[in-house]
Amino acid sequence: MKKIVDFYVDGFRNLPDWARSVWFIILLKLFIMFVIFKLFFFQNKLKKDFNNDEDRANHVIENITTP
């Protein structure tokens, strides 16, 4: 296991500057997609509108089964 970790650490350490910039952009995009979008666009509406799991489940079932 240590050889595998050393292989990747050594590989990232020897990256050229342009490759480090690309990895920074990739990580920044992932951060934006999973953290920022989750906070602002995918809020937990069911937790805000209902007090317990039973009410949430009933609401979901009513919306799924209603034509």
What is the C-alpha to C-alpha distance for residues 22 and 55, in angstroms, rounded to an integer?
Answer: 46
Give mean pLDDT, residues 2-18. Answer: 91
Could you read off the pLDDT of 46-64 as tens digits, one per residue?
888 899 999 999 999 998 9
Judge residue 56's burial from the number of C-beta atoms within 10 Å of its C-beta, 0-12 exposed, 13-18 middle, 19 or more buried. Answer: middle
Strand, helix or coil at 64? Answer: helix
Give mean pLDDT, residues 23-50. Answer: 87
Whole-angstrom CA distances from 62 to 12, 30, 44, 45, 66 are 52, 35, 18, 16, 6
What is the C-alpha to C-alpha distance for residues 55 and 61, in angstroms, rounded to an integer?
Answer: 10
pTM, two decimal places: 0.54
